[in-house]
Structure 1
């Protein structure tokens, strides 16, 4: 029996931005608490996000095999992904980009300038452009540039976590509206980006936030479902395809059935 469209939406629930608690005394235990809560809320896949600001030289992933095995044992029903977010404030960082990205399932860039936004949208081999939702953006996101990014498979991320804090609410809403305007509602991924357990929301609450900010309900559902999954699959193919046109078999985290996906680099 073919899975109905509404059931498909309900079966795919991704949070692609759970910040790795690097400053916590016990980061693995802290991450486990977040994963357990997200599992209880109904998410089927979660990306732990390692954020790097500054030079990449000497940086290594905290997601060792032992760490990932321990985390996965705590939530066997959730697919755990490894994500890198590079806070990009100068294009010279690009020189070390390839040296670390292979250690992660998803690679995102948080541009800080007009030039780094241009580079992320048109040149870098990444999966997500993540706008800082806690401050006024230092650039104007143009429709033409946003479309260029979406057309080559890069998704734009909106994080709702800061909208639940008094100081961050105003910037989160204005930045979300700007992203929706520039992309015309295409290629948007909704993530939590939450540093505190109290700021996580259920999939339906998160979808409702996006619709309040102006995104159509179908696109809002896709933002934690189909579109988020595309970003995750693109990340896998980015690492495996060696910039060639390939057909890869990707295990669907929800059904366990293999899904064929085409990526042309």
Structure 2
């Protein structure tokens, strides 16, 4: 049975709205969601990276996933909107407060750097405007080799007809370059009405140019590989206990996934994955 994930639910200071989104995601069958904190640095004034709120303060009780016997899992994610290279600080300790780290580059140079150099998990593709550059194979292939994924979100297409055209056009251009590899589909939902079920999202993937198999993986196994990539990244540098990070370690992520797959807990004792996981093009490095 597939385990579905939505790794982009926008953070809202309105606790009731955010709780409604998470409850709807659980009802639709998503086993894991990531609350996304968007950070847009400015060159005019110094800005602080947001601090993720503890899940227990946002939600009184986690809802049970439809068709499963366990509650939904909620992660924290940071997305940095980049219009200048100085907006991303590779060694920033603030980034380690989050389980997932994403960037959204706005220029071709920054897109190349995000694919080839930056230690991130997700590269976001803009869906609200026409991209000022075209996707080239070299950085795309570099990102695939490093286990970095590309994200296309769909909620903007629900809100506005113009953004719908941009979403489809930008997504199709990406699929032409990456051939459907390392792509995840997420909602970027601000409210519950903007969420769609996993199979509806799969159908959207077909509209974006994904094959049937790649569209299914974009809401399941490729998302799973993103979490493994994030866990391996933190594990390879230092453990959460020594950095003071609230982000999950590889151990916690692997335990979480084995629980979702119904595997016995006796197999959940290693500090790293026991073998390659996820699609072949997204398996974590064997050296970690």
**1:100 corresponds to which residue?**
94
Gaps of 5+ in 1: 1-6
Equivalent positions of 1:117-136 (< 5 A) are: 117-136=111-130
Give, in angstroms, the shift of residue 94 of structure 1: 2.7
Q: Conserved in 1, the CA contact under 8 Å of 2:7 and 2:33?
A: yes
Pairing partner for 1:254 from 245, 260, 266: 260
Question: Per-residue deviation at 1:152?
Answer: 0.4
Corresponding position: 1:200 with 2:195:
yes
Q: Structure 1 residues 149, 243: CA separation in 2 closer, same or farther (over 3 Å shift)?
A: farther
Given that 1:189 and 1:227 are in contact with CA atoms closer than 8 Å, whether structure 2 keeps it comes out as: yes
Aligned partners of 2:122 and 2:149 also within 8 Å: yes
Match of 2:108 among 103, 114, 119: 114
Alpha-carbon deviation of 1:213?
2.3
Q: Structure 1 161/97 Cα, relative in aligned 2: closer, same or farther at 3 Å?
A: farther
Instruction: Give the stretch that moved more between structures: 100-109 or 253-262.
Output: 253-262
Aligned partner of 1:17 in structure 2 is: 8
> How far is the alpha carbon of 1:97 from its aligned partner?
5.1
Q: Paired residues, what number?
A: 248
Equivalent-residue separation in structure 1 for 2:95 and 2:60 (angstroms)? 22
Structure 1 position 223 matched with structure 2 position 233:
no
> 1:29 Cα shift?
2.2
Q: Is the 8 A contact 1:106 1:127 kept in 2?
A: yes
Instruction: Give deviations 1:191-229, integer Å, cap 9, x for gaps.
Output: 011223222100000000111222110000000011011
Q: CA offsets, 1:69-109, max 9 Å, x none?
A: x5372325111110000001111123365222100000000
Relative to structure 1, the CA distance from residue 172 to residue 255 in structure 2 (aligned partners, 3 Å threshold; closer, same or farther) is same
Q: Relative to structure 1, is the Cα distance of residues 256 and 72 closer, same or farther in structure 2, using a 3 angstrom cutoff?
A: farther
**Relative to structure 2, which stretch is displaced further, 100-109 or 75-84?**
75-84
CA contact (8 A) 2:154 2:187 kept: yes
> How many angstroms apart in 2 are the aligned matches of 1:172 and 1:65?
31
Take 1:144 and 1:72, find their aligned partners in 2: how far apart are those partners?
46
How far did 1:138 drift? 1.7
Q: How does 1:7-156 map to 2 (within 5 A)?
A: 7=1, 11-22=2-13, 27-54=14-41, 57-64=47-54, 66-67=56-57, 70-71=58-59, 73-75=61-63, 77-95=71-89, 98-156=92-150
CA RMSD between the two structures:
2.2
CA separation of 1:65/1:39 partners in 2, compared to 1, >3 Å: closer, same or farther? Answer: closer
Distance 1:243 1:175 in 2: 37
Kept after mapping to 2: 8 A contact 1:248/1:260: no
Cα separation, 2, equivalents of 1:65 and 1:221: 28
Say if 1:47 and 1:83, in contact at 8 Å, map to a contact too.
yes
Spell out structure 1 runs of 4+ moving beyond 4 A: none
- Distance in structure 2 (CA, Å) of the matches to 1:96 and 1:183: 25
Q: Determine helix, strand or coil for the equivalent of 1:49.
A: strand
1:72–1:80 contact (8 Å) kept in structure 2 = no
Change (3 A) 1:66 1:78: closer
Distance between the aligned counterparts of 2:95 and 2:217, measured in 1?
Answer: 26
Give unpaired runs (5+ residues) of structure 2: 65-70, 240-248, 276-283
| SS of equivalent residue, structure 2 residue 123 | strand
